[in-house]
Amino acid sequence: MSTPATTAALDRLPLRDADGNYRVVIEAVQGSRNKLKYEPESRTLELHAVLPLGVSFPYDFGFLPSTRGADGDPLDALVLMDEAVAPGVVVPCRLAGVIEAEQQKKGGKPVRNDRFLLVASSSHRYRECETLADIAPDVLDEVERFFEFYNRQKGVAFRPLDRHGRRRAAALLEAAERKPD
């Protein structure tokens, strides 16, 4: 298992591994109230937020390295897998789809901040999950409500715009991919 202290800049890893899997760097662990955020300058994960009592991340959550969204951060990713992994771990995944969304700070302009949905390549429980259509609609509804609540706690409005499958998600990832320096 890699740890932030012993790795190169996690946000600059290639988006895909040698087998063609997408990489996701985990920042928040399923079942945890803690949201960590990768800080590229120090190459560490720092505590970014703590969710209120009774609320936790529904799945492991992190970012897709070598990407940048409209908010200036790497693109956000939610990973379906059998067990939670430690923060800072890089999980090889296959892309299932995307929840296109926008966020708006109070008094600010709306900014796109999509949530990409991926499945851990080694997952047993989700091995049959290939596309967004394979994820139950009530699960997608719960994920959207979680992000609405999570952002509201920070004074930010989160508004889902639409849901799309792999093709649209891959196009959005390609458009946001930063090539190595």
| CATH code where residue 25 lies | 3.90.80.10
Question: How many structural domains are present in the chain?
Answer: 1
**Tell me, what's the pLDDT at 129?**
95
Residue 178 to residue 181: CA distance in whole angstroms: 9
Tell me whether residue 9 is in a domain: yes
Considering the domain boundaries, does residue 139 fall inside one? yes
Question: Which tens digit of pLDDT belongs to each residue from 44-102?
Answer: 999 999 999 999 999 999 999 999 999 899 999 999 999 999 999 999 999 999 999 99
Q: Is pLDDT above 70 for 8?
A: no
In a domain, 181, yes or no: no
The confidence score (pLDDT) of residue 179 equals: 74
Domain that holds residue 124: 4-175
Residue pair 64/77 in contact by the 8 Å Cβ criterion: yes
Residue 180 lies in a domain: no
**Among candidates 9, 13, 10, 20, which has minimal Cα distance to 170?**
20
pTM of the model: 0.93
